[in-house]
Amino acid sequence: MWTWFHRLASPPTFYRFAERLAPWLLVPGLLLIGIAVWQGLFVAPADYQQGDAFRIIYVHVPAAALSLSIYTAMSVAGAIALIWRMKLAEVAVVTAAPIGASFTALALVTGMLWGKPTWGTYWDWDARLTSELVLLFLYLGVIGLHQAYADPRTAARACAWLALVGVVNVPIVHFSVQWWNSLHQGSTILSAEAIANPKMAPEMLKPLLMSMAGCYLFFGAVWLRRMQNGVLLRERRAKWVREMVLPALPADLPNARPPAGGPGTARRGDRA
Amino acid sequence: MTKRNQRLLGVAALLIGVGVAATLGFTAFRKNMMYFYTPSDLAAGTVPVGAAAQLGGLVEAGSLTRGDGLKVEFRVADCAKNIPVRYEGVLPDLFREGQGVVADGYMNDEHVFVATRILAKHDENYMPPQVADALKGNPDTGKHSCMPFKAVDKTVAAS
């Protein structure tokens, strides 16, 4: 098990592993999202109070759940990158941030669109909305910090520190509706009470769970692909990249075949 | 101690430090994190007369009266107390008796909350209309219970 893990941490092994795994996440993920959207829009009954406006939940709740999960995953990768100095974990941190920022923005926008007809306002500064906005800023901070350094390893480590500091916001977002009075309602599915005693009719809940599962798979596929890109970019001068990837590229691509030897090969003694 | 253990310790110290700081900060500023006051808070005089505040609670069943034009009066209640509210303006679609609301405004010297804006507060329950009809009149469904409302002033128990 551990040896397999160590092998996976080596960029070429990871690259081949991700190449094989990504389609197995992407295709079921998109299928699930497709079925969930169809069921959510046409099969699930309208809500007794909100009517059809509630259907935005099939986008909003998965996006919000992903925004927190991705941040948690990013900071776990950050801790691994900082403690074990693992290159692949550094790549994982910086590649997760834009995906997380997108899901956070989606959660905020869909929430605002739902808030206007339901609450009567797009936005108000309650604990849940504000902490989710802070989460978006944290993601944007990680993206910005990554752009601010020329050296990818320094940049990734700075991003990892920021990801670790910001992880305190994840429980705040999740529990904000329990700890404080808020405009946002409590958890419909992700709380101990809601799991014991479902707060949503089963025919409405089923598409929501499918949509969530689909979004997680979709995120997994996108993350793997982005990490592959990140690994290629970092290792572009390494022998395995030249041997495996470059023959597949058209020969007349500018800068497609960098000269042999360089910083990438010089650092091959590095861990991972 | 190896370099790696030092880094492990650094990361752990950072996480614990930030966590403790956040806990202390949010405990100290608990009042400021509350989005609204409950009727129990206002009845206990937590907010001075005339000061801007937000009041949250349920529109008490049977308390809604409509005046000229857009004028409405109703009572907002939690499990213990209720406060009369006066408002003139557009109400959100979800506004109805038994519904959670959040009102911006102030307490006047007649102990009436004069609202300048009313938002509807939705709860975490979703169901088709038939199910909602079947549940009507059953007090144990938890529908719009007063549980989610926390008194800002901890000495005011909304039990």
Min Cα–Cα distance to chain B from A85, Å:
9
Class of domain B34-141: mainly beta
Q: What's the pLDDT at A270?
A: 46
Is B98 or A35 the better-scoring residue by pLDDT? A35
Q: Find chain B residues with C-beta within 8 A of A177's C-beta.
A: 148
Q: What's the pLDDT at B102?
A: 93
Q: What is the mean pLDDT of chain A?
A: 88
Min Cα–Cα distance to chain A from B108, Å:
23
What residue ranges do the domains of chain A occupy? 16-42+55-242
* pLDDT class of A121 with cuts at 50, 70, 90: very high
* pLDDT class of B146 with cuts at 50, 70, 90: low
Is B136 or A96 the better-scoring residue by pLDDT? A96
pLDDT tens string A100-120: 999 999 999 999 999 999 999
* Closest listed residue to residue B84, CA positions, set B123, B31, B43, B30: B43
CA atoms within 13 A on the CB side of B92: 26
Which residues, 6+ apart, have CB-to-CB distance to A101 below 8 Å?
Answer: A136, A139, A140, A143
**Exposed, middle or buried, A210 (CB in 10 Å: 0-12/13-18/19+)?**
buried
User: Which of B15, B47, B124 should be substituted to probe chain A, the one whose Cβ sees the most A Cβ atoms within 10 Å?
Assistant: B124
Query: With a CB-CB cutoff of 8 Å, which residues 51-110 of chain A face chain B?
Result: 54, 57, 79, 82-84
Q: What is the mean pLDDT of chain B?
A: 83
Q: What's the pLDDT at B28?
A: 87
What residue ranges do the domains of chain B occupy? 1-33, 34-141
Buried b (16+ CB within 10 A) or exposed e, A62-100: bbbbbbbbbbebbbbbbbbbbbebbbbbbbbbbbbbbbb
Contact yes or no for A171/B24 (Cβ under 8 A) = no
Contact B127 A201 (CB under 8 A): yes
Q: What's the pLDDT at A268?
A: 44
Q: What's the pLDDT at A97?
A: 97
Contact A82 B30 (CB under 8 A): no
For chain B, percent of residues with pLDDT exceeding 70? 86
Q: What's the pLDDT at A180?
A: 87
Average pLDDT over residues A42-53: 88
Q: Find chain B residues with C-beta within 8 A of A183's C-beta.
A: 35, 102, 119, 121
